[in-house]
Amino acid sequence: MATFTLLSLFILLSLLSVAHSGSIGINYGRIANNLPPPAQVVQLLKTQGVNRVKLYDTDSNVLTALSGSNISVTVALPNEQLADAAGKQSFTDSWVQSNILTYYPKTQIESIAVGNEVFVDPKNTTKFLVPAMKNMYASLVKYGVAQSIKVSSPVALSALGNSYPSSAGSFKPDLVEPVIKPMLSFLKQTGSYLMVNIYPFFAYAANTDTISLDYALFKDNKGVTDPNNGLVYKSLFEAQIDAVYAAMKAVGFGDVAMAVSETGWPSKGDENEAGAGADNAAAYNGNLVRRVLTGSGTPLKPNEPLDVFLFALFNENQKPGPTSERNYGLFYPNEQKVYDITLTKEGLENGPTMNNGSKNTVVTAPEPAAAPVSGGDVEASKVGNTWCVANEKAAREKLQAALDYACGEGGADCRPIQQGATCYDPDTLEAHASYAFNSYYQKNTRGVGTCDFNGAAYVVTQHPKYGSCKFPTGY
């Protein structure tokens, strides 16, 4: 009987260990003109032991190449199609037929990302998000695949109005009733999860005086204690995740699961992009993989596994914005590693602990570090006032691409240029781009290279003004 009990206990502990370990996937972006063909990429994924991949579209060549690979796939409906998807289920019926059923189940599609960082989309598509998600789900139900394929939408961390301390995490008030609550209600009803894009790099680069690099890179550090609940955080990544959990709980949906749909660290950056570099990128991603595959959940949710998609598979040479945007890849387009890390638990067991990785030890008397600035904003620059405006000589296509970047991945506050808002008029590309460029410039402390956008912008020393719209000087 004693032997049986010990054996049962051993099995139980083993099962618990498996249940609490997370998963690592990777984002396969293709904003580049020099990437290997999809079939070759699938072989690369398999040799690296990657069994989950996230796409930004439903490219036929890619989905066909993934057929029979045993790699689980997340596909995406682009923001440009949200209005159509929200307007009528016949659109999502057709979309599911063409982009899902054509490939599934040979291509193991596990989820659909409806839009991407919609709340910062300069095209003001937020109102279409939840209706589009509901129509997409209804189409999956219609064709009998809703139990196997989840519907979600990646949300940028900038959706939070407050992120420090983690226990005080909250969504921006103007998002809560119109979209956050309906979206979380939908996710709960359908058994899905919230996708969140989390980048400690951005917070560190904007706050190097208050955020420890070791804390951002999962290296050994004294930790940060949440003053409200006493929880100790050994990494900024976990603190940011728990801020989202707290925000969900604050609006009544603390039981909705979460996946990190994007996170990463650039291996190269501009002079003003503090922390960008191959060593730090290897430390962040390498230690993150170890943390996810060998650890449990976060301090707030210790029993919830961490499901994480790294950004990104390749360096993408056609992405606009600062140098860092083109250098998040784990691989060069020739399939050579940018730096050497493992992506599997087996690789971790066979290799050394790298880059002073986090040890998951209990910290008894930590000294709290200074707080990250709420919502990712930064203090106003101490230097003389300057602003960033659009280059009127730049091609419209370049201006539009730069505007999309600034309001999207760049994290600029573009709400004032939405229709009906204070800076919507004049409704011109140049005026809207100027406002977005300046927001990005000020949020990045007017650093060198943050007002360029591949020649689409330049710095001025006189306060710009369009109509009654006043450009902010700092955040």
Q: Which residues are catalytic?
A: 117, 262
Ramachandran category for residue 100: left, alpha or beta (phi over 0 → left; psi -120 to 50 → alpha):
alpha
Any idea what DSSP says for residue 119?
G
Cβ burial 327-354 (10 Å sphere, 16+ → b, else e): bbbbbeeeeeebbebbbebeebeeeeeb
For residue 205 the two structure tokens come to: 């680069």
Looking at beta carbons, which pairs linking 223-226 to residues 24 or more positions away fall under 8 Å?
223/363, 223/366, 224/366, 224/368, 224/369, 225/366, 225/368, 226/165, 226/166, 226/167, 226/299
Q: CB–CB of 466/436 below 8 Å?
A: no
- Residues 182 and 15: their CA atoms lie apart, in Å, by 35
Distance of CA 467 to the CA centre of its chain: 35
The residues pairing with 155 across neighbouring beta strands, listed in sequence order, are 196
Q: CB–CB of 113/74 below 8 Å?
A: yes
Residue 170 CB contacts under 8 Å (≥ 6 apart), including other chains: 160, 161, 162, 246, 247, 250
